[in-house]
Structure 1
């Protein structure tokens, strides 16, 4: 009887180990597919504008525009790679931040100035509402990554809107400092909200722009690592709220 029980337990453990191995294999395959999907668009843009430059197509003004667009695609590629590597760190439990008290308003102003040229060429307008004196506790690189991801999403998912304004605002509340990014696009369906911050999930219906959710999943984890949070707020368009600790 004892031998039979031991054999049954051993068999159950083997089944569990096989199931876990299969799950890990699926996750690795899913991660590789997601990474390839995310990288494809900026790489295609780099190749397109690089070919145009190499062929000398257009007058000097157009050639300068091609060079600018290559720079934008390279920046986009850098953000995608950063998200993929960050998600890999998250999966391994190696994601770390250094939280300090600092001038959040100044950081957001710098971020907005960097983002504005590309957004302007995409037909979007960035409206910043944040006091330069606003202080909070945060990791600078993490805030750059989170807000950068949110601005990218706002530009992508607001493309069909009549109002292409993206609102970036920050204010101090009773118990936190809130950074909000809002677009005037179609918003996010109730069904999609349930898996919004889950990796490899898209935040809109299937006919929306491509993307597999690494950015939002990573951004929420970074926010929580700073003792804050990232949430979706209902309203006209899509609004994301990053909550940070007060200084």
Structure 2
């Protein structure tokens, strides 16, 4: 499958996309809001000419935060547009950068050529940085047509994902070849990107950006105070975090 066929199937599948949004909105009403942004309509006012960073959801947004803050310091004259795909990711981005006026935020439009063009017309980035493995062929192709370099930060690619991408070599290969940099977590993953079509000179092993996160000293102080309240200074504390439906009951039973 090449990009033309992929795009045609995406357009044909838009009714299914609408149904999926509706189903998600039944559990999370925020999915029914800001739908225009998903087609690059009704976007907030944007200052053009900065850096675009895409983090699909909460985890990627948190991981990207140190990199975004470093970009703010290194390029004090540039706005930074941070996009995501989920309401929870949007909430996290807005909370992380509530006091930073140079941070602009909206949803990333769906990977349709017309939506990608409208988005890039509005943002006009000098550089695009995508977190981990959120690869969209039309967005990347539209960047390449405009001479906008695209970097994949904290890149990862499991064997299973590589096999999936490999099944669509006519789509994946040209897309990866259009990208300018892959900052990959491990050498094994770097080799998978090369085998799928990334140019060898664009692939670098940089480790995981998540190790660059720093813990707020006040958070450590609050943790110490909680241990004191629980009389738990000398015993381990088990935390069940990021649980899903049905798992809380299992944790409580344990």
TM-score, length of structure 1 as denominator length? 0.31
Larger CA Rg, structure 1 vs 2: 1
Provide the TM-score with structure 2 as the length reference: 0.31
